[in-house]
A and B are shown apart, each in its own frame.
Chain A
Amino acid sequence: MKLTHLVVAASLFGSTALVANSAAADVKVGLLGGISGPIAAMAPPMIDAAKLAFAQVNEQGGVLGGQKIVTVVGDSACNPQNGVDAASKLVNVEQVTALVGPHCSGPVIAVANSVAAPAGVALITPSGTSPEITGLDDKGTVYRTVPSDDYQGRALARTLVAQGTKNVAVAYLNNDYGSGLAGAFKAEFETQGGKISGYAAHEEGKASYRTNLAELSRGGADTLVIFDYGDGSGLTILRQALENGFFTNFVGGDGMKSDAPIKELGAENLTTFVASSPMGEASSSLDSFNKAFTAAGGSADAIFVANSYDAAFVLALAIEKAGGDKAKVPAAISAVSDGKGEAVAAGEWKKAVELIKAGKEIDYKGAAGDLNFDANGDVPGAYGLFSIDGESFKLQTPMN
């Protein structure tokens, strides 16, 4: 057919040059993120964090006996159409060994189904939180370093009840992230005997949420739980709730643990604000990531950056373990962080390589949790409740 000819000719023309000039000795990894589109503000720090992990690997001797990891960035624009197109380019044209991303759940599911699983290429998403990702028929190629919404929502509910908060209102963003967390939180909070006196979804990008807040506060709760992004409508909600005095205490999920509220509202106004966030057993991992990322000019409090770093680092370990064989990378990912073997913390690349060379099992303990992938490629995750101290978030209490 004429149409197909044209497409084939055009794509050959467009891409041969690119394949030709890539050095043969490098390992290519695709970083797929929602760079343009609704989460544009979140994507760049996440990409930077993943790049930091690969930079550390390259500095400490590289993979597979001295090869460098080269990243190719793709833009999923947070929709399946662009996501699959970008993934197809990365996997088929750039011939990447594996993908970190996409960031949003919709593209994760579409890319897993129509690119990653059929091509047998590993995919680790740092921020796709939809419960649907768990049950995908993905031939073991799909992993995530962020726990499913279910765990965090439940842990947060238990912690709040244990701290004596019995009556809350919940405002959540109407997408997979917000509704997933809110649903899990509500179920657990009510089981624990708490009362949800307001529960409402909102659309992103509106200029005013004051009526939403007024409705929520009519139930009489003085604590507002926000499941949203701290540099998006979550910030608007937090600001308008504070300015109008609708609530006195504020609790956020990991999406609210962002530097934007501190930067825009001021730490002095956020004394009653806490946010939950995944954290690992080995808190040294988180510390070393925070230090390295800050030194590289990033903000360690940006959303999902630690998860992105973990996704990239665990992928590098898997590539090393699989000996660079693309088909073996998916299985190697769960092997390098399954809770068995010698612990490897964030940034400890040299140590890990020596262990792998010696044929020992390793267990990566990440900055945003110990990972320990289960059979579905999910991580259970442990959480802490963070409050603002000075100009950044500090751990207040661990949650369980």
Chain B
Amino acid sequence: MEIPGILIYAMSMAIFMGIYAILALGLNIQWGFTGLFNAGIAGFFAVGAYTSALVTSALSANHLGGLDLPVPVGWAAAMLVAGLVAWPIGKICLRFRSDYLAIATIGVAEIIRLVIKSEGWLTGGARGVTKIPRPLASDNYALSELSYLALVVIVLFCIYLLVEKQLKAPWGRMMRGIRDNELAANAMGKNIERRRLEAFIFGAAIMGLGGAMLAHYYRSITPEAIDPMIATFLVWIMLILGGSGNNRGAILGVVVVWTIWSMSEFVTDQLPEEYAIKAKYMRVFIIGLMLQLVLRFRPEGILPEADQKSAQRRK
């Protein structure tokens, strides 16, 4: 049976969206529900991706690891290690507020990126880790895409349920309380620092899982994948556009932003042949302009946080 190419493209897009939706949910825990300005998503993404890569790939002389373990073990390890790395970072950085935290986390992510690029014995350096197994892969292109898509959707759904459950639980109410009025929460005897650290680690672990899933999809991870633009700022745009504080909004934001990002290429490809290269620069312009338009008409995000009162109180 011949599967139309457009469906395969749609599936590859959906896989990508699913993985970035996981990243956006992780960020939503940190920013949307706790108010932590983590601008170092790329760092936890990278730690997760490389951990799973090293745990599940075969032995290689170029990097550490090569344990050849099953993929689920790799994903669990990715979450665990990303959380573990987040712990000392959170311990140190969460005392900074707002923009100070943002620049501190950007800094940590840049340092992680440089370590990954430079310490070849650990991560393969600039060569990266290749030959990472992809679960459920088969010789049929469409079928492998479909099965990986199913896997991504299942994982995303589980993460979504997990996050929603946490947020509906007393823990989530307390987090929003701390975010909206730290003083009051403190007065009520809540251990704010500890709760914040929990949210930071929880979010980071989910980001690590997202990174691992991307690495297995590409069967490789190289330092180019953890550039701040594509691994940090893009996720931020998705969350803010979709509606921070709302998990469904976060997922929708990913769909909208990636659709703009990917499909803008079709629009600019309509330009005549001699502008083929300039068209790619115009595409970047269109992406920027579309962001402005969404922000202009839906400044609270496409799906704002349900509890409007608490959203408005935030500065």
Direct contact of A and B (CB under 8 A): yes
Which residues of A approach B to under 8 Å, CB–CB? 1, 3-4, 6-8, 10-12, 14-16, 18-19, 35-36, 43-44, 47, 71-75, 77-82, 84-86, 88-89, 91-93, 95, 104-107, 109-110, 113-115, 118-120, 130-132, 135-137, 174-176, 178-180, 201, 203
Residue contact A106 to B223, C-beta cutoff 8 Å: yes
Tell me the bound Cα distance from A18 to B265 in angstroms.
Answer: 11
Which residues of B approach A to under 8 Å, CB–CB? 5-10, 12-14, 16-18, 21, 62, 114, 117-118, 120, 124-128, 130-131, 134, 141, 144-145, 149, 153, 214, 217-220, 222-225, 227, 230, 251, 255, 259, 261-263, 265-266, 269, 273, 276-277, 279-281, 283-284
Tell me the bound Cα distance from A12 to B149 in angstroms.
Answer: 18
Which residues of the other chain, B, contact A73 by a CB distance below 8 angstroms? 269, 276-277, 279-280
Assuming A75-B265, A130-B127, is B223 touching A44 (CB within 8 A)? Answer: no
23 A–B contacts, CB within 8 A, in A order: A3-B17, A3-B153, A3-B251, A11-B263, A12-B6, A15-B6, A35-B280, A36-B280, A71-B273, A79-B227, A88-B8, A88-B13, A92-B8, A93-B6, A93-B266, A106-B224, A106-B225, A114-B12, A114-B219, A115-B12, A130-B126, A132-B130, A176-B126
Residue of A nearest to B283 (CB): A75
Residue contact B224 to A78, C-beta cutoff 8 Å: yes
Across the interface, A85 reaches (CB within 8 A) one of B13, B18, B124, namely: B13
Which residues of the other chain, A, contact B223 by a CB distance below 8 angstroms? 106, 175
Tell me the bound Cα distance from A180 to B62 in angstroms.
Answer: 12
Across the interface, B12 reaches (CB within 8 A) one of A3, A18, A88, A201, namely: A88
Looking at chain A's contact residues, the main secondary structure is helix
Assuming A89-B262, A114-B218, is B269 touching A72 (CB within 8 A)? Answer: yes
Assuming A73-B277, A85-B262, A179-B125, is B10 touching A7 (CB within 8 A)? Answer: yes
Residue of B nearest to A133 (CB): B130
Residue of B nearest to A13 (CB): B263
Residue contact B127 to A132, C-beta cutoff 8 Å: yes
Residue contact A136 to B130, C-beta cutoff 8 Å: yes
Assuming A47-B276, A85-B13, A88-B13, is B230 touching A79 (CB within 8 A)? Answer: yes
Residue contact B14 to A174, C-beta cutoff 8 Å: no
Tell me the bound Cα distance from A36 to B230 in angstroms.
Answer: 12
Assuming A85-B16, A118-B144, is B131 touching A137 (CB within 8 A)? Answer: yes
Tell me the bound Cα distance from A115 to B145 in angstroms.
Answer: 10
Tell me the bound Cα distance from A80 to B280 in angstroms.
Answer: 17
Residue contact A74 to B224, C-beta cutoff 8 Å: no
Residue contact B266 to A89, C-beta cutoff 8 Å: yes
Which residues of the other chain, B, contact A175 by a CB distance below 8 angstroms? 117, 126, 223
Residue of B nearest to A114 (CB): B218
Assuming A80-B220, A176-B127, is B13 touching A15 (CB within 8 A)? Answer: no
Assuming A85-B262, A174-B118, is B220 touching A109 (CB within 8 A)? Answer: yes
Tell me the bound Cα distance from A81 to B125 in angstroms.
Answer: 19
Residue contact A7 to B114, C-beta cutoff 8 Å: no
Residue contact A80 to B262, C-beta cutoff 8 Å: no
Residue contact B13 to A180, C-beta cutoff 8 Å: no
- Shortest beta-carbon distance from A204 to chain B in Å: 11
Other A-B pairs, 20, CB within 8 Å; known A4-B149, A107-B224? A4-B10, A7-B17, A12-B6, A18-B269, A35-B277, A35-B281, A36-B284, A72-B269, A74-B265, A75-B283, A80-B220, A81-B230, A88-B9, A88-B13, A91-B5, A92-B8, A109-B128, A135-B130, A174-B118, A179-B127
Residue contact A75 to B9, C-beta cutoff 8 Å: no
Residue contact B9 to A92, C-beta cutoff 8 Å: yes
Which residues of the other chain, B, contact A119 by a CB distance below 8 angstroms? 8, 141
Residue contact B125 to A106, C-beta cutoff 8 Å: no
Which residues of the other chain, A, contact B13 by a CB distance below 8 angstroms? 7, 11, 85, 88
Tell me the bound Cα distance from A105 to B219 in angstroms.
Answer: 14
Q: Which of A82, A109, A135 has the most CB atoms of chain B within a 10 A radius of its CB?
A: A109
Assuming A73-B280, A114-B218, is B14 touching A4 (CB within 8 A)? Answer: yes
Across the interface, A7 reaches (CB within 8 A) one of B5, B14, B127, B273, namely: B14
Tell me the bound Cα distance from A276 to B18 in angstroms.
Answer: 45
Assuming A14-B263, A85-B13, is B218 touching A110 (CB within 8 A)? Answer: yes
Residue of A nearest to B234 (CB): A81
Residue contact B127 to A131, C-beta cutoff 8 Å: yes
Residue contact B5 to A95, C-beta cutoff 8 Å: yes
Tell me the bound Cα distance from A104 to B14 in angstroms.
Answer: 24
